[in-house]
Copies of this chain bind each other. A is one copy, B any other.
Amino acid sequence: MSAALALSERTRGRTAPNPNVGCVLVKDGRVVGRGWTQPGGRPHAEAMALAEAGEKSRGATCYVTLEPCGHVSPRGPACAELLVAAGVARVVIALGDPDPRTNGQGVAKLRGAGLVVIERVAEDAARAAMAGFLTRQVRGRPFVTLKLATSLDGRIALPSGESRWITGPEARAHAHLERARHEAILVGRRTWEVDRPRLDVRLPSLEGRAPRRLVLSSTGDLTRPSDIASLEGVDHLLVEGGAETAAGFLREGLVDRLLLYRAPILIGSGKAALGDIGLTDLPAAHGRWRLIDTRTLGSDRLEVYASN
């Protein structure tokens, strides 16, 4: 299942409205097929893995990060039926599909056809891997990551507005990799007009991965953070600033994940990372975030926090 989860990461941010699923077919202790949801959402991971395995699917065990779909769609057959037709013997599933069109029906079809089904293997890891799809299903909006790049004292620019560079090349490269894993990037109108950010992916061989660029503006399509619910084909949204836009998303409880890049510098007077997030007392600030990852990027440090 770890291998299937790793495969599912390949297209994180490029499969909406479909989940990014990973699938591994194992027969006689050997991997005979690997698949992951393709960009745009089709083919599904199971279809890809079955195609690779061919005749070796017969009697194999399928490890898949999400319950195989049980419904036929205009865009393709139901994966549960494909697995049955291919003669797969066992299916190990990380997470049930909350999509009401499947939601247990995939499992029912498999069991009805005599396959052995094992559920809830590495379920938490699968939830994390498919957070975009699940947030869309459960909350009706994209999974939102807020990126901040600050000094040790929480500044994002000098009083003059100078902000190049706070973090070093390794941290900036990592931030570009994160862009490639999101369907869209959003900035506030002021940041858009003043900083004129390119918001592209400047990494070798990933130049084509630039996500949709969105601007929050009182005069545009997105006037409030909550308007992101209406974004079609966006299950992963990266909010990159500025301070007021970031604060707006936090104020409305719309940030699921915080990427905090920190340079080992002090700035003192300057621009703060966040505007008013609507906090009225300190106890209310506690217990909202937990550190889930930390790494060194050149001389900078990245901390990743998840919303509780």
Residues of A within 8 A of B (CB): 148, 150-155, 158, 162-166, 247, 250-251, 258, 260, 263-270, 272-282, 285-286, 288-291, 301, 303, 305
With contact pairs A150-B153, A155-B154 given, residues A264 and B279 touching in the complex (Cβ less than 8 Å): no
Smallest CB-CB separation from A283: which chain B residue?
Answer: B165
Q: Which residues of B contact A266 (CB under 8 A)?
A: 250, 258, 274, 277, 279, 285, 288-289
Q: Which residues of B contact A258 (CB under 8 A)?
A: 152, 266
Q: Of B162, B268, B270, B285, which is within 8 A of A267 by CB?
A: B285
Cα of A151 to Cα of B272 in the assembled complex, Å: 12
Cα of A228 to Cα of B165 in the assembled complex, Å: 34
Q: Give the one of A163, A266, A267, A288 with max B CB within 10 A.
A: A266
With contact pairs A265-B289, A289-B266 given, residues A152 and B260 touching in the complex (Cβ less than 8 Å): yes
Q: Which residues of B contact A264 (CB under 8 A)?
A: 289-291, 305
6 A-B pairs with least C-beta separation: A154-B154, A268-B277, A265-B285, A269-B276, A153-B154, A268-B274
Smallest CB-CB separation from A264: which chain B residue?
Answer: B289
Q: Of B158, B279, B289, which is within 8 A of A282 by CB?
A: B158
